[in-house]
Amino acid sequence: MALDETAFRAYDIRGIYPSSLNEEAVEKAANAFRHFAKGKVLVAADPRVSSPSLKKAFISGATKAGLDVVDLGMVPRGVLMYYGWRHKIASGYISASHLPPEWNGLKVTLPDGLSFSEADSQRLKQLVFSGDFHTASSPGKVSQLDALPEYLDYVASKIPKPGKRLKILLDIGNGSSGKTAKMLFEKSGFQVETVFEEPDGRFPNRESELSVKSLEKSISLANKFDVVVAFDGDADRIALIDNKGRFVEPETVANLIMSDLLEKEKGDIIANVECSKIIELMAEKFNRKIHRVPVGYAYIVQALLEKGACFGVEKSMHFFIRHILPFDDGLVAGLYSAYALSNMDKPLSDFVDETPKYISKTFNFEFPDDRKKFESIKSIEAGILEEFPKANTLDGVRVDFDNSWALVRKSKTSPLIRVTVEARDMEEFNRLKGKFTGMVEKELERWA
């Protein structure tokens, strides 16, 4: 089967199994990864049906290249990331995160346990497609490791015991976090119940994507709990549902975390270009700066370290608490959210109600990952810049107004062009929605 170039994306390798992502692609990528790893690599996976076979292919490619492989089994991505960061070992994780069950992918990190930039991804792609496959005279060895106890002890030691023993529902969504999340929250002193705890890569009970629709079950149970914490498939994202059964917007979750974190930690805040102005309100309260970066894990990590920031957030429900872990871990973010709430003299619903509201929504337009998508986004961006020459072009084009903004950008992980619009009132929201989605729809008509 021929390799599909579109599976090699800006930050990872991701595609539909086995048509655009298969064992051959993962084996070749793992073999080429010898140029980045230093003699040893960690590997783990989520519970997707195709994950065991793809993990086996990763191990085969890496050991043929002479790399020793340490297999951590089926664990949340944060457990793998923690161990790689703590012990300075490169890693590979088999997962497609929040995408449907027919998808899978590979995320890798360098020996610092953190970074793998867009430039690194492009180099890895070039190595794979150049036919750079190496068979060492002495193949690498494979060993197994249970990293969970060390991870649990570390995270629990970094977050104090709760002020109140909240009752928490964990919505695992049949992903990788069931055992880990329950153990961590109970170890920290919370009263815990779970739904959809059993790992099942078919995601039979709900989509791995976190949304109002996918979390209907937990929403129906939420009034029995102080908070619901929901995870996607690899547990690098979280969503909260308040005690009134309302989905809490990512920026409000960020403000919940920051309401406690900024009392204790120094440093500024990193937010990508998709994030709401709500973040700025908490930053102003604590006299912190907001540093905007392009969308993508690597940009947040790099900015956290370069700016000495204490917190980072992406609208896609990734949260970074640097003094605990300098990367996005949904388990850490969920636990810290619960801890912050436990120290408040109000329910989560009151905190949500007190947070200023913006009307915000992202509109997705499907474009194939080929020349069409890239030509289209360039055409759309040119049209916006002609009308708004001072627009922010950090990632796509973002046009800011007094109390509103609009962003048009191509997704680097999915075959989509995204339009995000935010405003304080519905009239302005509808005006911007019509204007900027209209530009994309006009481009779609050109290709029809």
Question: What does the pLDDT look like over 11-39, one tens digit per residue?
Answer: 899 999 999 999 999 999 999 999 999 99
Residue located via tokens 């020996």: 111
What's residue 33's pLDDT?
98
Q: How far is it, in rounded angstroms, from Cα 104 to Cα 17?
A: 6
Strand, helix or coil for residue 33 = helix
- Positions in the chain short of pLDDT 50: none
The DSSP call for residue 223 is G
Nearest-CA neighbor of 3 among 184, 179, 130? 130
What's residue 218's pLDDT?
98
Residue located via tokens 């595609």: 15
What's residue 448's pLDDT?
64
Nearest-CA neighbor of 327 among 28, 116, 146, 181? 116
What's residue 57's pLDDT?
98
What's residue 115's pLDDT?
77
Full-model pTM: 0.93
In angstroms, the first-to-last Cα distance of the chain is 30
**Are the C-beta atoms of residues 86 and 340 closer than 8 Å to each other?**
no
Domain ranges of the chain: 5-146, 162-354, 359-447
- For β-strands 325-328 and 318-321, DSSP reports them as antiparallel
What's residue 298's pLDDT?
87
The DSSP call for residue 96 is -
Which run of H or of E encompasses 340? helix 330-342
Kindly give, in sequence order, each residue whose CB lies less than 8 Å from that of residue 173, ignoring residues fewer than 6 positions away.
Answer: 196, 203, 205, 206, 207, 208, 214, 230, 231, 232, 233
Tell me which of 3.30.310.50, 3.40.50.2000, 3.40.50.300, 3.40.50.12780 is the CATH number of domain 359-447.
3.30.310.50
What's residue 414's pLDDT?
72
What's residue 410's pLDDT?
87
Nearest-CA neighbor of 416 among 373, 385, 447, 382? 373
Intrachain domains 162-354 and 359-447 with the same fold: no
- Tokens standing for 283? 């930053």
What's residue 399's pLDDT?
96
Q: What is the mean pLDDT of the chain?
A: 94
**Homologous superfamily in CATH for domain 5-146:** Alpha-D-Glucose-1,6-Bisphosphate, subunit A, domain 3 (3.40.120.10)
How would you list the strands of the sheet with 13-16, edge to edge? 13-16, 103-109, 90-94, 40-45, 68-74, 142-144
**Homologous superfamily in CATH for domain 162-354:** Alpha-D-Glucose-1,6-Bisphosphate, subunit A, domain 3 (3.40.120.10)
Query: Which residues does residue 68 pair with via DSSP β-bridges, in sequence order?
Result: 40
List Cα–Cα distances, 118 to 88, 115, 295, 305, in angstroms: 21, 10, 12, 17
- Tokens standing for 287? 């006299």
The DSSP call for residue 186 is H
**Are the C-beta atoms of residues 95 and 51 closer than 8 Å to each other?**
yes
